[in-house]
Structure 1
């Protein structure tokens, strides 16, 4: 293969790669926006459960402090790649704050790989969903695994404007005293279950709501990170295409110059013979 043919083949390959990166960038942008659009709904559900907890709490005796041996730490990472240091940051945050005898639960295959690279094997692994429609069923599956847990924390990526994110940790259980101390009407709410049982069910729903919102935040953050990665990749590909095109022009000029010299040399030889 001549040098010019090699350059043409590389340019064609780079153009195809640029199209693929563009498609991934568009998909990441759409999924990030879809997850952001769902934030008001997940937040509103959390607020409703918080309000119900505040209203029923005065009827229930304050619970005893939870046993340390019954705690779990949930890490929400990504299922797919092209997200830069997203998963490493989440796993590092979790391992840094993990308490003694606290069970580690990882959501997302990439987070699992990051943990194993650090020599850590989680107590439980669940795959992360890649679309908004999968958030609710996944949150229910995770909540079911916390059935007997009285202490629960979540490490997740909170979405920030500009396709950025912050790595955060939030304690969900036991219920924060601030939830129980919120201002509520003085009239006790009507209820059919014993207040203790009702509060227990509300705590479970609060855990579900917070897990669902953390999953949604991380899904938006993951795709924001992927969007930025694809933008950098597209820029690098564009720079390489420009360099290859410059090289192509130089090679073409060299070939043209060489051909002209051959023609001139041949013409001179014929002229001398005649």
Structure 2
């Protein structure tokens, strides 16, 4: 009985240590998600300014031909998957949104491992940074990997596929077109004042397109960073509930086993006391009979 109680105590201690690790991972994921959400406002404003500038170019230089997809050319997608584990089915949902036959640029080490298991190949892959400060550099590296196939005409359409987390609703997968630019998607200026241009409209549009793609990649990466950590928080919360339930069951078993051990000790003590009293009575009766025989 003592060995069994010791085993239960060891299991309780181990599960409590696991609970400490789970709570720490949950706290780290929460801090990272909050940091990414706080920076999304700035990136959204930056992308909106560039989109407004592109809209002005389209409005005042209508002769600039917008890029258009050509039939027979391939589409590409930048898929932002999970960098680490314990994020549930986050990567599976993102990979499931990639259309078949799409040239894939894959972000996230955990997502890359899952893609390999599924037999999905990627043209280019990279790791998601551990902190949001590394996201602009990641977006620059992705853009550099994209420029060659776009310039060579091997990619006619480019999408960003990433997760978005909605409070109370969970994860949804967003698919945003990055290239070619759709003139109707950019806001037109409310005023009629023509800005002073120092560059040819074609050159200006090309440079603004590069900045716009970089800004959209940053925004997609931030959304993916936040939603991955939100998914990890949810997974850790479920693990925490399972740990609490397991601890409650083990603690109840511990109480029962301890009570059984105490009961066994009491019975053993009581049995020893009764046996001692029986021996004492037998001894007294023996002495009495002996005296009677001696005096008889």
Q: Tell me the TM-score range normalised by the shorter chain.
A: over 0.9
Structure 2 equivalent of residue 81 of structure 1:
85
Does structure 1 residue 63 correspond to structure 2 residue 66? yes
Which segments of 5 or more consecutive residues in structure 2 lack a partner in the other structure?
151-155, 281-296
SS in 1 for 2:160: strand
TM-score (norm 2): 0.87
Which segments of 5 or more consecutive residues in structure 1 lack a partner in the other structure?
none
Structure 2 equivalent of residue 8 of structure 1:
9
If you compute each CA radius of gyration, which structure gives the higher value, 1 or 2? 2
TM-aligned CA deviation for residue 162 of structure 1:
4.1
TM-aligned CA deviation for residue 269 of structure 1:
1.3
Residues 160-202 of structure 1: per-residue CA shift (max 9 Å, x gap)? 1248221111111101222356244323321222110110111
Residues 64, 258 of structure 1: alpha-carbon distance in 2 compared, 3 angstrom cutoff: closer
TM-aligned CA deviation for residue 115 of structure 1:
1.3
1:77 and 1:87 in contact (8 A); partners too: yes
Does structure 1 residue 208 correspond to structure 2 residue 214? yes
Matched positions, count: 270
2:52 and 2:187 in contact (8 A); partners too: no
SS in 2 for 1:38: helix
SS in 2 for 1:16: helix
Distance 2:66 2:254 in 1: 75
Residues 38-96 of structure 1: per-residue CA shift (max 9 Å, x gap)? 111010011001011011123143235233535321100111011101000000111xx
Distance 1:163 1:80 in 2: 23
Distance 1:122 1:128 in 2: 16
**Higher mean C-alpha displacement, 231-240 vs 143-152:** 143-152
Q: Which of 194, 199, 204 is matched with 1:193 structurally?
A: 199
Query: 1:234-253 maps to which residues of 2 (within 5 A)?
Result: 234-253=240-259
Structure 1 equivalent of residue 107 of structure 2:
107
Does structure 1 residue 179 correspond to structure 2 residue 185? yes
Residues 144, 70 of structure 1: alpha-carbon distance in 2 compared, 3 angstrom cutoff: farther
| CA RMSD of superposed structures (Å) | 1.6
Residues 163, 131 of structure 1: alpha-carbon distance in 2 compared, 3 angstrom cutoff: farther
**Higher mean C-alpha displacement, 144-153 vs 240-249:** 144-153
TM-aligned CA deviation for residue 116 of structure 1:
1.5
TM-score (norm 1): 0.93
Q: Which of 260, 266, 271 is matched with 2:272 structurally?
A: 266
Does structure 1 residue 159 correspond to structure 2 residue 178? no
**Higher mean C-alpha displacement, 188-197 vs 224-233:** 188-197
